Amino acid sequence: MTADLADSKDLRIDSISFEHFRNYPSFELGDIGALTVFVGKNAVGKTNIVEGIELLTALSSFRNPTARQLIAWNSNTARLKATFLNARRRLDVELKMEDGKRSYSLNGKPKKIQTLKGLLPAVSFTPDDLDLVKGSQSGKRAALDALGSQLTSNYYVIRKDYEKILQHKNKLLKEEGSSSYLEAIDETLVRVGAQLYCYRSSLFAKLLLEIQKYYREITGGIESVQAVYVPSWQEADPENMETFILSKEEATQQMYEALVGKREDERRRHRAIIGPHADKVEFFIEGKNARIYGSQGQQRSIVLSFKLAEVSLIRDMLDQKPVLLLDDVMSELDEQRRNALVGFISGDIQTFITTTNLQYFANGILDEARVVELGCCR
Ligand SMILES: Nc1ncnc2c1ncn2[C@@H]1O[C@H](COP(=O)(O)OP(=O)(O)OP(=O)(O)O)[C@@H](O)[C@H]1O
């Protein structure tokens, strides 16, 4: 983080405004407190608000949109603004979308995205996240990368670099490029890939400790969760909880050897097989793979623990509380898990929740909340 941002701990969002963003010609909200609940019918623009806040905090969106998709259909530019406050200072963050590009500024000065990462991070929880345990491996990797990219700008830069090299290699494999060119790309891929493997697997190890803590709390200490991070070149046995913890040197060597061994295979399949883009994560409950044997409730407890663990890890590592964005998940959780989430929200994490129905909020939580009705006056 740059020196002018060093005094930015304990930030919270004080106000937001959107212009020509998604379905909003304009939208403003000021004096934002600890808990804001956006309520409205389907398609009124609830998820769009959560996405706008995520773009201003996490600097990315769980929907992974292009700049064009974020701009209102009848406009060529869109602007999102937020004011962040703490006891000492005020920061104005702005995101402009134009000509297929996103550009950020801080207090009026243009900023590269990596210099703003971690300023005021966010954890989002959407119905899609509920598939994190049983869903695709790419979803698990993306969740870890989104977290890691908020925690350090190095993680963000390495992941971006790896993505570019991988795209380049896949293009070359499709075009059946020369062996010498592919070998040269593989050297860069291994160097950057081993670094990404190390960042991601060590992030996962830290996160897992927190996940285990929350899982124990949610299940009243009855069950425990375990997990493994498996590099692409290892054959993961889904029934077996074997762990693979490698140093950067070991990862570099093993990845390189695996790449050489799979070169023909990659050429035949026209795509890269080896590298952190194909690493795997598996969760286990009491030694049994949660993807295969876990009930829906158990899988959801892991997901909820994962999200709460993200908040804890960000708070501990950055010494800055993230904002929590809960998009329509209350209706998806049963009472026990909803109560666990509400207990967490009642702490001091600034939270934004969307819902179609306020009936999901028991335990007096709405007494403390600002309820914003969407769609009633537009
Ligand atoms: N770029 C855009 N320009 C204009 N409208 C858009 C754009 N992108 C999405 N929309 C529209 O915004 C509307 C609101 O979407 P959003 O996902 O926020 O709804 P929601 O309130 O979360 O609904 P639900 O409760 O059904 O999830 C949708 O009708 C969608 O078509």
- The DSSP bridge partners found for residue 226 are 284
Pairing mode, strands 24-29 and 35-39 = unpaired
Q: Report whether pLDDT(4) > 50.
A: no
% of residues, the chain, pLDDT over 70:
97
Q: Does 135 have pLDDT greater than 60?
A: yes
* pLDDT confidence of residue 332: 84
Whether residue 55 contacts residue 71, with contact meaning beta carbons closer than 8 Å, is answered with no
Measure 183 CA to ligand 1 centroid, in angstroms.
46
356 pocket-lining for ligand 1 (C-beta < 6 Å)? yes
Ligand 1 atom with the smallest distance to the CA of 327 is 22
Distant-in-sequence, close-in-space partners of 347: CB < 8 Å, separation ≥ 6: none
Q: Return the CATH architecture of domain 131-296.
A: Up-down Bundle (1.20)
Query: Mean per-residue pLDDT for 1-5?
Result: 46
How far does residue 300's CA lie from ligand 1's centre (Å)? 26
Percent of residues, the chain, with pLDDT higher than 90? 81
Name the binding residues.
40-47
Give the tens place of pLDDT for each residue, 270-280.
Answer: 999 999 999 99
Enumerate the known binding-site residues for ATP: 40-47
pLDDT band at 326 (very low <50, low <70, confident <90, very high): very high
22 lines ligand 1 (CB under 6 A): yes
> What pLDDT, in 10s, does the model give residues 242-300?
777 899 999 999 999 999 999 999 999 999 999 999 999 999 999 999 999 999 999 99
Beta carbon of 42 within 6 Å of any ligand 1 atom: yes
Look at residue 167 and tell me whether its pLDDT is greater than 50.
Answer: yes
Cα(46) to ligand 1 centroid in Å equals 8
The C-alpha atoms of residue 243 and residue 92 are separated, in whole angstroms, by 45
State which ligand 1 atom lies nearest to the alpha carbon of 68: 1
| Minimum mean pLDDT range among 88-92, 121-125, 243-247, 342-346 | 342-346
Ligand 1 atom with the shortest distance to the CA of 374: 21
Distance 44 CA to ligand 1 centre (A): 6
**Centroid of ligand 1 to alpha carbon of 75 (angstroms):** 16
Report pLDDT for 241.
80
> Is 47 close to ligand 1, i.e. is its CB under 6 Å away?
yes
Confidence of residue 378 (pLDDT cuts 50, 70, 90): very low
In single-letter form, the type of residue at position 319 comes to D
- The backbone torsions φ and ψ at residue 334, rounded to the nearest 5 degrees and listed phi first, read -80, 175
Query: Whose CA is closest to 325, among 302, 305, 355, 296?
Result: 355
Contacts of 362 by beta carbon, 8 Å cutoff, 6+ apart: 335, 338, 342
Please check the confidence at residue 314 and state whether its pLDDT lies above 70. Answer: yes
Strand intervals (E) in the chain:
12-21, 24-29, 35-39, 77-85, 90-98, 101-106, 109-111, 122-125, 225-230, 280-285, 288-289, 323-327, 351-355, 370-373
* Position 6 pLDDT exceeds 70: no
The correct CATH number of 3-121+322-373 out of 3.30.420.40, 2.40.70.10, 3.40.50.300, 3.30.70.980 is: 3.40.50.300
Residue-range domain boundaries for the chain: 3-121+322-373, 131-296
How confident is the model over 351-360, as pLDDT tens digits?
999 999 998 8
Instruction: Write the DSSP string, 77-98.
Output: EEEEEEEEE-SS-EEEEEEEEE
Whole-number pLDDT of residue 236: 77
Our mutation pick for probing the ligand 1 site, out of 23, 46, 329, 358, counting the most ligand atoms within 8 A of Cβ, is 23
What average pLDDT does the structure give for the chain? 92
Q: What is the CA(249)–ligand 1 centre distance, in A?
A: 47
CA of 17 to the centre of ligand 1 (A): 17
266, 252, 251: which is closest to 182 by C-alpha? Answer: 266
149: left (phi over 0), alpha (psi -120 to 50) or beta: alpha
Q: What is the C-alpha separation between 316 and 303, in angstroms, rounded?
A: 20
Q: 1 pLDDT exceeds 60? A: no
**ipTM > 0.85, yes or no:** yes
Q: For residue range 8-40, what is the model confidence (pLDDT) as tens digits? A: 578 999 999 999 999 999 999 999 999 999 999
Return the pLDDT at 335.
Answer: 81
Q: Which atom of ligand 1 is nearest to the CA of 356?
A: 25
Q: Is 52 in the pocket of ligand 1 (CB under 6 A)?
A: no
| Angle CA 23–24–29, to nearest 5 | 140
Contact 233, 272 (CB under 8 A): no
Q: Is 221 left (phi over 0), alpha (psi -120 to 50) or beta?
A: left
C-alpha separations of 357 from 38, 39, 72, 262 in Å: 10, 7, 27, 53
Q: Which atom of ligand 1 is nearest to the CA of 69?
A: 1
What pTM, to 2 d.p., does this model score?
0.92
